[in-house]
């Protein structure tokens, strides 16, 4: 019996070694069958047509080679003990098929399977996430909604336990491809899904529950178009939430109240103005933090002094050029700033709820959507990994900070001021900006004098106790419902101090190079509500309290009045329909 056990163990060890070797060398595990180099171990060495056509045969060849190795190991052990060969062969046949079953069914990410020569379709994405979810105990898969044209929006949950149920873990949300023609975020997210299933990444889920949404705009992606099927820019829709994609995303966030989020995009440095300037941006992965000054200083400071330097070093150490996300320019014609302070994008709309939130912008391909796709996708994946590693190493600090600042939204201090009009301003520093010289083809740096990294308030309002929305205004009620604000019906104003804005005229104000409405207003006290008219009371002592102020104040340059869907509410000579409730 002892000899039989030893024989069994020897053969089992051979099979484990062979299976492990195949996994590490790209034998069909989550890394794919042809990966050798790069941060995503096993990407195609090149993306030529001949390699694409040979990849399938290469995978099959390695599979057959592995099969022969396992059989040889089995027979080699077995024939040393010919008297026990019958029992050994039966045992090893069982083990052999167990190993091959797991080996042959491990899902390969679509961009790898496609050799990075074509974009992953929604059908391919659906098949892959479903297969991956079935293959791993780390993953739970959820359809959080559907696009305008009915395509599923998938959230892939990674957790070592029940997703979202362990309060000791920090909750992280990464979502990609709000813009359909920014493809590398989606492809990178699919690579990340496979990367996170590696044994050396499992430690992340001792502290993190991650939700990964690889594609927010599948309709736009299918036709490689920025906007969704309704022709709207989803990353300008997070305040008004008119689209099913953004409503689904925010509904999902509201269920789990993620402490950390990242919105993954691509930027294009190939515009005509930059070409005339003679230089262009050339950073492969750029990252941006929160800029709205209503978000607490402590969150923004940790983002800028902690996460951004960590991520840029993480990327550089792995061979990717990186820089802070800086829109604007070229420097000879326009100022350079950090990202928008508006709250209608994916980063800041969650940041205004005191979330540790970021934007990542990879560099787009020059000629078409698949140009340099492998490098772009792997760069995006590496940036996402940097976020997870930073959060893992700073879990307690981030959790405590976010919890403390969210409590201030739920129990706001008396007399708190909210900035509803702001501007980008310089701080006296000169930006040393890495660029590519179009004349020499070499990397260089340009010193930007008109650099405006700070945001300054132009107009503040005192945070009220809440707002009253007319119960017969369907437009506003749909907006309230879309955000899921806490609310109640109010029929009397006893003990409350109510104000109403009168619209005297409508002017405009500059907002990051655009013009938005800036009404001239007067304020008057309301002693009683109109007879026979009900109002919905929405208090500001909730997580979305600062969003309420930014959206419902008529002079807010980030408010509902600046959107064409709500423009009819702002007319000279009338009253703004939303009433303001102040503390007595």
pLDDT tens-digit map of 208-227: 999 999 999 999 999 999 99
Query: Residue 104's pLDDT is what?
Result: 39
- Provide the 3-class DSSP secondary structure of residue 53: helix
pLDDT tens-digit map of 354-377: 999 999 999 999 877 899 999 999
Cis-peptide into 373, omega within 30 deg: no
Vertex 87: Cα angle to 84 and 88 (nearest 5):
80
Say how far residue 320 (Cα) sits from the centre of its chain.
20
CA distance 189 to 548: 32
Of 216, 227, 205, 214, which is closest to residue 185 (Cα–Cα)? 214
Assign 548 a pLDDT band (cuts: 50, 70, 90). very high
Share of the chain above pLDDT 90, in %: 78
CA distance 329 to 336: 5
Q: Residue ranges per domain, the chain?
A: 2-106, 126-394, 462-582
CA distance 290 to 338: 9
Query: Residue 60's pLDDT is what?
Result: 38
Average pLDDT over residues 106-128: 96
Q: Do residues 79 and 44 touch, judged by C-beta distance below 8 A?
A: no
Average pLDDT over residues 311-318: 98
Inter-helix orientation angle 395-410/373-393, to 10°: 80
User: Which H/E stretch holds residue 350?
Assistant: helix 346-351
Burial of 351 (0-12, 13-18, 19+ CB in 10 A): buried
CA distances for 240 relative to 264, 366, 580, angstroms: 21, 33, 20
Assign 94 a pLDDT band (cuts: 50, 70, 90). very low
Query: Residue 496's pLDDT is what?
Result: 81
Query: Residue 452's pLDDT is what?
Result: 97
Q: Do residues 506 and 572 touch, judged by C-beta distance below 8 A?
A: yes
- List the helix and strand counts (H, then E) for the chain: 16, 21
Rg (CA), the chain: 28
Residue 513: pLDDT over 60: yes
- Provide the 3-class DSSP secondary structure of residue 194: helix
User: Which H/E stretch holds residue 579?
Assistant: strand 579-582
Structure tokens at 512: 């990051």
User: Which H/E stretch holds residue 477?
Assistant: helix 474-483
CA distance 550 to 239: 9
Average pLDDT over residues 411-440: 97
CA distances for 159 relative to 140, 166, 205, 215, angstroms: 8, 9, 6, 20
Concatenating the DSSP letter of every residue in 28-39 gives: SBTTBSS--BTT
CA distance 496 to 533: 17
CA distance 427 to 430: 9
Q: Do residues 210 and 258 touch, judged by C-beta distance below 8 A?
A: no
CA distances for 377 relative to 61, 176, 182, 348, 488, angstroms: 27, 12, 11, 24, 47
Cis-peptide into 347, omega within 30 deg: no
Write out the CATH class of domain 126-394. alpha beta
Q: Are strands 535-539 and 488-490 parallel, antiparallel or unpaired?
A: antiparallel
Residue 442: pLDDT over 90: yes
Structure tokens at 34: 């042809």
Query: Residue 461's pLDDT is what?
Result: 98
Say how far residue 574 (Cα) sits from the centre of its chain.
41
Tell me the β-bridge partners of 141.
Answer: 156
Average pLDDT over residues 51-61: 37
CA distance 491 to 313: 57
CA distance 558 to 518: 11
Return mean pLDDT, the chain: 86
**What DSSP character marks residue 412?**
P
Inter-helix orientation angle 49-78/2-24, to 10°: 170
Inter-helix orientation angle 244-256/474-483, to 10°: 40
Q: Are strands 579-582 and 497-511 parallel, antiparallel or unpaired?
A: antiparallel
Residue that has been written with the tokens 């008297």 in this structure: 83
Q: Do residues 154 and 143 touch, judged by C-beta distance below 8 A?
A: yes
Q: Do residues 108 and 28 touch, judged by C-beta distance below 8 A?
A: yes
Residue that has been written with the tokens 């980063």 in this structure: 347
pLDDT tens-digit map of 249-278: 999 999 999 999 999 999 999 999 999 999
Q: Do residues 360 and 314 touch, judged by C-beta distance below 8 A?
A: no
In this structure, the chain runs to a length of 584
Average pLDDT over residues 24-41: 35
Query: Residue 584's pLDDT is what?
Result: 78
CA distances for 320 relative to 44, 307, 381, 382, 447, angstroms: 18, 17, 11, 9, 22
Q: Do residues 505 and 519 touch, judged by C-beta distance below 8 A?
A: yes
Query: Residue 493's pLDDT is what?
Result: 67
Residue 85: pLDDT over 70: no
Buried b (16+ CB within 10 A) or exposed e, 281-319: bebbbbbbbbbbbbbbeebbebbbebbbebbbebbeebe
């Amino acid at each position: 019996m002892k000899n039989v056990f030893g024989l069994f163990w020897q053969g089992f060890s051979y099979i484990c070694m062979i299976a492990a070797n195949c996994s590490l060398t790209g034998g069909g595990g989550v890394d794919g069958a042809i990966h050798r180099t790069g941060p995503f171990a096993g990407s195609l060495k090149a993306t030529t047509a001949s390699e694409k056509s040979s990849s399938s045969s290469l995978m099959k060849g390695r599979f057959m080679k592995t099969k022969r190795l396992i059989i040889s190991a089995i027979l080699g052990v077995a024939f040393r003990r010919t008297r026990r060969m019958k029992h050994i062969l039966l045992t090893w046949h069982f083990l052999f098929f167990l190993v091959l079953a797991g080996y042959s069914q491990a899902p390969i990410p679509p961009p790898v399977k496609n050799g990075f020569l074509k974009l992953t379709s929604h059908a391919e994405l659906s098949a892959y996430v479903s297969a991956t979810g079935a293959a791993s105990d780390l993953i739970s898969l959820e359809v959080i909604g559907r696009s305008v044209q009915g395509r599923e929006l998938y959230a892939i949950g990674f957790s070592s336990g029940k997703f979202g149920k362990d309060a000791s873990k920090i909750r992280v949300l990464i979502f990609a491809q709000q813009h359909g023609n920014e493809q590398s975020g989606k492809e990178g997210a699919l690579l990340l899904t496979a990367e996170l299933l590696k044994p050396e990444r499992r430690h992340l889920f001792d502290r993190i529950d991650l939700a990964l949404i690889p594609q927010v705009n599948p309709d736009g992606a299918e036709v490689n178009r920025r906007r969704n099927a309704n022709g709207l820019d989803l990353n300008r829709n997070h305040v008004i939430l008119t689209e099913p994609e953004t409503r689904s995303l925010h509904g999902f966030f509201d269920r789990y109240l993620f402490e950390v989020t990242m919105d993954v995009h691509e930027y294009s440095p190939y515009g005509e103005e930059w070409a005339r300037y003679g230089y262009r941006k050339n950073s492969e992965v750029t990252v941006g933090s929160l800029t709205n000054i209503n978000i607490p200083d402590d969150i923004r400071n940790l983002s800028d002094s902690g996460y951004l330097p960590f991520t840029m070093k993480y990327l550089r150490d792995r061979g990717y050029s990186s820089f802070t996300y800086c829109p604007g320019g070229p420097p000879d014609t326009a100022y350079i700033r950090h990202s928008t302070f508006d709250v209608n994008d994916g980063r800041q709309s969650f940041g205004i709820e005191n979330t540790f939130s970021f934007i990542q912008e990879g560099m787009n391909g020059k000629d078409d959507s698949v140009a340099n796709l492998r490098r772009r996708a792997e760069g995006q994946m590496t940036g996402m990994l940097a976020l997870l590693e930073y959060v893992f190493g700073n879990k307690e600090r981030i959790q405590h900070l976010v919890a403390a600042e969210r409590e201030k939204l739920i129990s706001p201090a008396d007399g708190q001021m909210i900035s509803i009009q702001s501007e980008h301003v310089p701080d006296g520093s000169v930006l040393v900006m890495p660029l590519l010289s179009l004349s020499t083809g070499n990397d260089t740096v340009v010193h930007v004098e008109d650099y405006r990294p700070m945001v300054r308030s132009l107009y503040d309002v005192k945070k009220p106790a809440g707002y009253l929305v007319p119960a017969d205004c369907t437009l506003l009620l749909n907006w309230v419902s879309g955000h899921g604000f806490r609310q109640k019906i109010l029929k009397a104003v006893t003990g409350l101090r109510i104000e109403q804005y009168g619209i005297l005229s409508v002017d405009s104000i500059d907002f990051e190079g655009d013009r938005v409405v800036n009404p001239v207003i007067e304020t008057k006290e309301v002693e009683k509500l109109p007879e026979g008219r009900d109002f919905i009371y929405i208090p500001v002592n909730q997580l979305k309290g600062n969003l309420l102020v930014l959206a419902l104040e008529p002079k807010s340059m980030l408010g509902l009045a600046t959107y064409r869907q709500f423009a009819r509410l702002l007319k000279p000579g009338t009253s703004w329909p939303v009433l303001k409730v102040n503390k007595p």
